[in-house]
Amino acid sequence: MKQVLIGIFLTLVSLITMAQDLIVTQEGDSLNCRIIKERNGYIYAAYMEEGKAKRNYFYSDLIKGKQKNFYKTSAIPSGIKLRTVEFGKIRLGIRHGWGYRLAKVVASDPAEKAYLKELKSGWTYNAEIEYFVTESIGVGIVGNIFKSSNTIDGTLTVEEEWYPATFSNRHIIWYVGPSVCFEHLSKNKKHNFVLRYSLGYIHYTDKESLEIFDQTFKQFITGGSLGRYLDVNYSYLFNPHIGVNANIALVGGILHSITRKDDKGNEETIQLEKGSYEGLGRVDISVGLVFVL
Average pLDDT taken over every residue of the chain? 86
Strands (E), the chain: 20-25, 30-39, 42-49, 52-59, 63-71, 90-101, 121-132, 137-158, 161-185, 191-212, 215-239, 242-255, 257-262, 267-271, 278-279, 282-292
Least confident of 55-59, 80-84, 93-97, 256-260: 80-84
Domain with CATH 2.40.160.20 in the chain: 90-292
What pLDDT, on the 0 to 100 scale, is given for residue 173?
98
Domain with CATH 2.30.30.100 in the chain: 2-71
CATH classification (class only), 2-71 = mainly beta
Given a cut of 80, whether residue 115 has pLDDT beyond it is yes
Query: What are the angstrom distances between the C-alpha of 3 and each of 8, 11, 12, 16, 35?
Result: 9, 12, 14, 20, 33
What does pTM read for this prediction? 0.73
Rounded-to-integer distance, Cα 224 and Cα 262, Å: 18
Pick the CATH number of 90-292 from 2.60.120.620, 3.40.220.10, 2.40.160.20, 1.10.3720.10: 2.40.160.20
Query: For residue range 158-194, what is the model confidence (pLDDT) as tens digits?
Result: 767 788 889 999 999 999 999 999 999 887 778 999 9
Task: Please name the residue ranges forming H helices in 109-230.
Answer: 110-118
Given a cut of 90, whether residue 239 has pLDDT beyond it is no
CB 63 within 8 A of CB 25: yes
Given a cut of 50, whether residue 15 has pLDDT beyond it is no
Q: Would you place residue 79 in the very low, low, confident or very high pLDDT band (cuts 50, 70, 90)?
A: low
Q: Would you place residue 10 in the very low, low, confident or very high pLDDT band (cuts 50, 70, 90)?
A: very low
Mean pLDDT of 252-260: 95
Q: What's the CA dihedral at 257, 173, 139, 87 to 10 degrees?
A: 180
Q: Which residues pair with 184 in a beta bridge?
A: 193
